[in-house]
Structure formats: C-alpha cells, structure tokens
Amino acid sequence: MSQLADRVLLSRSGVTRLVDRLVAAGFVDRSQCTTDARGAEAVLTDLGLSRLRRASRTHLRGVDRYFIGPLSADELGAIGRSLGMIVDCLRTEADGARPAPTETIDAEAARA
C-alpha cells in the first residue's frame, strides 16, 4: 500500500480509504504481501480488470484528443525524447547510482 501511495501521490491513509472502497465495490482484493508479512497488496479482481479495460478506452480517447491531437510530430518527438531522459534518470536513481549533474538552462536564452 505504501508503494501504491507513493506512485499515485496520495497519503497512505488516503490510499487505504480508496482501496477500502474498491474492495467494497468488488474491483480489488487485499492479499498478504509476499515480501513483507506485515504489509498488504491490492490485487485487481476479474471485475476490476474488466472495468479498467472499459474505462481505458475513454481515458485514451481523452488523452489523444486533448494532449496528443493538438501537437505536431516534431513536438511529440521532443516530448518523447524529454520523457525518455526523465525515465533514464529515474532508473539510474532506482539502481542506486547518482545521476550526472545537468546544466541549468535559462528559459529566455533557450527561446533565442
């Protein structure tokens, strides 16, 4: 639950309440954590997976319409490269290595 809270940017108590509601609706089951007997994991039920798949269609249409559709191929490429750099940095940190320092770019100078 604490990993879930960190990834969705909610407090641990907020995630617990959310998972309680999802369990009550039949979308999620709680199971004992395999690596730490004190913890619990939230596991999608078949009903939860079905609902997630249906909701994903609407979600992806919205992402395409509002975030991808208005951008040119060059703009999408720039975003993809930037996000790739962020992912690489996060992976480096997760592996325990410190990322290489980067230069600070002055926003006004970058526009020139």
b/e map 21-32, b = 16+ CB within 10 Å: ebeeeebbeeee
Q: What is the pTM of this model?
A: 0.56
> What's the confidence (pLDDT) of residue 84?
95
> What's the confidence (pLDDT) of residue 97?
67
State in Å, rounded, how far the first CA of the chain is from the last one. Answer: 47
pLDDT in tens, the chain (112 residues): 778 888 888 888 999 899 999 999 999 999 888 777 777 888 999 999 999 999 999 999 999 999 999 999 999 999 999 999 999 998 888 787 665 555 545 544 544 4
